[in-house]
Amino acid sequence: MTNTRAAELLDEAQQAYDDDNLEEASKLLTRAMRLDPDNARLYEVRAAIWNDAGSPQYAIPDASRALRLDPSSVPALIERGNALLATGRFGDAADDFSKALDLLPADERIDVQFARGRSMMLSRHWDDAIEDFSEVIRMRPDAAVAYNERGFAFEKAGRPAKALRDLNHAVELEPKNPAFRLNRGSALFNMNRKAEAETDWELAYDLGKKDNGLVYQLEQRFKLLDKSLPGAKARKPKAAAAATSVKPSPKAPTPKPRWRKKPEAPA
């Protein structure tokens, strides 16, 4: 009887989750856990909810509990990997994504392959990141974001020609993506193609001027550009001028939970 009711609560939680009611889904799962504490699926789903709510610190213990109950749980490995990635534990995240990839069929690997590539890149393992993004591109040749990420990794690995090739491809696929233009501008600047870099950065500003983090990065790029021009006056390009006094927080901000009230503490 207890397990039957727990299963009903899980179904209700899944429906609430699908309806984007994360607070209600979390409450229902917590109730189900009290009835069926050894059900790994309950912890998998709640870990996903914590990640979606911008609270990865809670997703880690839930996903870990699910893995103690079911060591081959791919959803738990992915959710814990996502939470570790969000909390800056990039190497641990890559380990979880690697374990998930070993268990996934070939046609379901692309998202996890990309996530591992991000983990590798943030760990500054450039060649490993390039390998993962290359596999993503093999599976989905029109994945603009994978070209952008691989281009960034190529640049950091000291391969500017390959970096520019990938960043060009990313911009061709998504010409209105400001982040892609910012990255391509940086690659062009590092190749001493400053006029082209400035063009990309100005376009990036036009496309992304409502994104304070992006605008701040552009401000820093224009400062570099000014310093690199012999005898140049302290000009203020429009992106740099608009970005003045806009500063990001020291770390990437954690997304705020979508619920209005504080959710129940993890069981």
Q: Each residue of 22-55: pLDDT tens digit?
A: 889 989 999 999 999 999 999 999 999 999 999 9
- Assess whether pLDDT exceeds 60 at residue 85: yes
197 within a domain of the structure (yes/no): no
pTM: 0.82
Q: Which domain holds residue 7?
A: 1-87
CA distance 129 to 146: 10
53 within a domain of the structure (yes/no): yes
Q: Please, what sign has the CA dihedral across residues 223, 224, 225, 226? A: positive
Domain CATH for 51: 1.25.40.10
Max Cα distance, the chain (Å) = 81
**Count of domains observed in the chain:** 1
Q: Each residue of 245-267: pLDDT tens digit?
A: 444 333 333 333 333 333 444 54
pLDDT confidence of residue 228: 85
Task: Map 217-239 to HEC letters.
Answer: HHHHHHHHHHHHCCCCCCCCCHH
115 within a domain of the structure (yes/no): no
CB 164 within 8 A of CB 172: no
Q: Each residue of 135-169: pLDDT tens digit?
A: 999 999 999 999 999 999 999 999 999 999 999 99
pLDDT confidence of residue 22: 87
pLDDT confidence of residue 267: 46
Q: Each residue of 23-32: pLDDT tens digit?
A: 899 899 999 9
pLDDT confidence of residue 230: 67
33 within a domain of the structure (yes/no): yes
Q: Each residue of 64-80: pLDDT tens digit?
A: 999 999 999 999 999 99
pLDDT confidence of residue 231: 54
